Structure 1
Amino acid sequence: MRVVSWNIHWGCGKDGRIRIHAIIDVLRRLNPDVVCLQEVAANHPELNGGATANQFKQLGGAFGGYHMMEHAPSELYKNNSPRLFGNLILSKYRISQVHRHLLPWPADPGNPAGMPRGLIEAVLDAPNGKLRLMTTHLEYYSPLQRMAQVQRIRELHAEASARSRIFQPDPNLDAPYQLGFRPASSILCGDFNFAPDAEDYQALLAPLDGGAPPFLDAWRVANGNVARAPTTGLHGYPWPERPECYDHFFVTDDLAPRVAAVEVQSETAASDHQPVVLDLK
């Protein structure tokens, strides 16, 4: 099972031009079973390069054999026309349920900039059984907001784990109640806007109450103490000031034996972030 996570920077390359086809070409070469994208835009002409198209539809159309799930926490309107910005999942595997979570956005007087953030959670019928796949893009400017979002993700994971332990199918219930099994085993990926030595990184990996399986950093599981490859700051982009790792894969501890590889695809300059690839046995 191969999963790719990538903040695509609305397809805007270093030259300020939008080339969604370049994003699509990279993804096709990587041949993923599941794709998790952040910073997908629709109807945002004011963004660098002019992101006027609906990129959710462009990407979904380019991968016609995949199931598409989108979540745009930032939904603004101009002349009653929606301008969307958010996350996208494409999956070859059958989807049994999807949950779209808005993450906390507490007021932070010290950091008034920012935008609503979200988490998409999908239950996949993967080759070795059901698992939850989650992708997100956390706040960049406000550490207070980012920590609140980390804590909410932990709460959502603990809730799903608790529900998995008491799940009992009941065919007599009306269809909306029959969501089916929501497993504790999960993959969490995305642009977290924190480095591996950050406080919020440590908070995400801390033990959970109630028997929920903890998250592990999949890079460390696969690569041990090998120096982490940067996921931003390459190819001459003006941001950030130096190469850094803000994009991560986390897995619940039960999936750790199945982590075969975690790699950063450093060669592409199609975005100001690099794609990260997780391979599970």
Structure 2
Amino acid sequence: VVALAGLRRRTPAAGGEQADAGPAVPDDRVAARVNAARLLLIPGLVLAVVGILAGDRGWSTTGATVPAQASDDGTLTVVDWNLHYGVAPSTAVDLEGVARAIEAQDPDVVTLQEVERGWVFGGGADMATWLAHRLDMTIRFAPAADQQFGNAVLARSALTDVVVHPLPYGDGPQDRSALSVTLTTAAGEPVRVTSVHLQHRESNTPTRLAQLDALLAAEPVTGPALLAGDLNAVPGSPELDVLTDAGWVSAVDAVGDPAALTSPVPDPEHRIDWVLGQGVTFTEATVGTSPLSDHLPVTARWRVTTD
């Protein structure tokens, strides 16, 4: 805008009188303005092109040499974490700390919620692209509250068949979504992985139930599958009853400590973050201790169930 404003040229009015806008601008000053405009416009255009290209990478594969298939040892690891747009309860923003906490679990796939891509609250960082580059993983992102805030899935291998599921708004107050992708194991077995964040507020059970109904209808289970995220629902709630009735098994309840709580940090009172599976066998499940979000991460080791 500044550069284009500099291109404005005032010309004399008819009959030799000056236009109301003021005296004519000498040709040499006009040329100087044009050069100044070029100096402002060209770098901006170059940066825009670079940003578009980099942004496209942020939505797809960012690892340098990401294989098509996951680990070949038979047992895989998933980490689920609501990142609270990168802000810890202490108000610190420590993306490197988040990356190290994830890295320490040596995950094959990571499901994230409350991932921000430029929010001022989170320091203006694009968490999705930054984490993908830092961890050398594939990234897929699904907007929720807005285009800069939503859910993500990271993996050490390729992710295919990406689908974003907008969820019913219900009583609000925020748009929610789920992100589903396919992870392929070393044996060539496709595993459907979904990262989801349901509506908050205790009174919003009807909205969460409607969101689960929509998600289960959109993602029918036809093979091995993982469903992980911040469900804003506790054990024994109607929301978990819907999922268990549909065949989903909680990793923490199967092989972990059901008394472990996940939110809010630093003094958790509820277990509302979940890793669930169908067609997979969980071998270990733990709730982490990282204080870098208002939720604690949940890690589960699993393998595809064989008949």
Taking structure 1 as the reference length, the TM-score comes to 0.75
State the superposition RMSD in angstroms: 1.7
Q: Deviations over 1:170-224 (max 9, x none)?
A: xxxxxxxxxxxxxx320000110000121111112214xxxxxx2122222224x
Alignment correspondent of 2:254: 221
Alignment correspondent of 2:128: 56
Instruction: Describe how 1:84-163 pairs up with structure 2 within 5 A.
Output: 84-106=148-170, 108=171, 113-128=172-187, 129-141=189-201, 142-158=204-220, 161=222
Q: Give the aligned residue type for 1:127.
A: A
Shift of 1:95: 2.3
Q: Give the aligned residue type for 2:140.
A: M
> 1:233/1:74 Cα in 2 relative to 1: closer, same or farther (>3 Å)?
closer
Taking structure 2 as the reference length, the TM-score comes to 0.69
Is 1:206 matched up with 2:240?
A: no
> 1:94/1:54 Cα in 2 relative to 1: closer, same or farther (>3 Å)?
closer
User: Do 1:192 and 1:247's aligned partners in 2 also have CA atoms closer than 8 Å?
Assistant: yes
Q: Deviations over 1:42-95 (max 9, x none)?
A: 2222x3xx531211121122122x2110111222xxxxxxx5111111111232
Q: The residue matched to 1:53 in structure 2 has which SS?
A: coil
Cα distance in 2 between the residues matched to 1:93 and 1:43: 26
List runs of 5+ in structure 1 lacking aligned partners.
76-82, 162-183, 208-213, 237-241
List runs of 5+ in structure 2 lacking aligned partners.
1-75
Is 1:230 matched up with 2:305?
A: no
Q: Deviations over 1:26-48 (max 9, x none)?
A: 11111111111111112222x3x
Alignment correspondent of 1:188: 227
Is 1:197 matched up with 2:236?
A: yes
Cα distance in 2 between the residues matched to 1:97 and 1:216: 23
> If you compute each CA radius of gyration, which structure gives the higher value, 1 or 2?
2
Cα distance in 2 between the residues matched to 1:95 and 1:33: 11
Q: Which has the higher contact order (CA 8 A, sep 6+)?
A: 1
Q: Which structure features the higher share of strand residues?
A: 1
Alignment correspondent of 2:144: 73
Cα distance in 2 between the residues matched to 1:234 and 1:44: 21
Alignment correspondent of 2:273: 247
Q: Give the aligned residue type for 1:278.
A: A
User: Do 2:138 and 2:158's aligned partners in 1 also have CA atoms closer than 8 Å?
Assistant: yes
Cα distance in 1 between the residues matched to 2:255 and 2:156: 24
Q: Give the aligned residue type for 2:80.
A: S
Is 1:16 matched up with 2:38?
A: no
Q: Deviations over 1:6-36 (max 9, x none)?
A: 0011111121121111111111111111111
Quick one: which of 301, 304, 307 aligns to 1:279?
301
Shift of 1:131: 0.9
Is 1:39 matched up with 2:72?
A: no
Moved runs in structure 1, 4+ residues, more than 3 A? none
Cα distance in 1 between the residues matched to 2:258 and 2:251: 13
Cα distance in 2 between the residues matched to 1:42 and 1:127: 32
